[in-house]
Amino acid sequence: MRTDHLFALPSVWSGASRVLDLFAVFDTYNDSPSDALADSRAIYSDWRIIGEELADAMTRVEREPPTTAQPPTTPAAREAGRP
């Protein structure tokens, strides 16, 4: 999912031509019909990326080998027979 759908991605040639573009003829932006639609697209894109990263993190945690480390015990707990 792209997160830059509101920005035009220029090529090398359009970047070079902007040096001589005194009247900003080459400035282009991806438009939305309304501000509300642009905002909703941006929010959807943000939450989708968050969901993808969360799913990726959950998958990585599931793949990790289980640890056998036990929580540290205090001397008083050992004397009382508690872990």
Return the structure tokens found at 53: 């990263």
User: What does the alpha-carbon distance between residue 7 and residue 3 come to, in Å, rounded to a whole number?
Assistant: 9
The pLDDT score that the predictor gives to residue 32 is 81
Per-10-residue mean pLDDT of the chain, 83 residues long, equals 60 77 72 87 90 95 79 66 57
The pLDDT score that the predictor gives to residue 56 is 95
User: What does the alpha-carbon distance between residue 82 and residue 71 come to, in Å, rounded to a whole number?
Assistant: 12
Distance, C-alpha 52 to centroid of its chain? 8
Structure-derived torsion over alpha carbons of residues 15, 20, 23, 24, reported in degrees to the nearest 10: 0
* pTM tops 0.85: no
User: What does the alpha-carbon distance between residue 19 and residue 13 come to, in Å, rounded to a whole number?
Assistant: 10
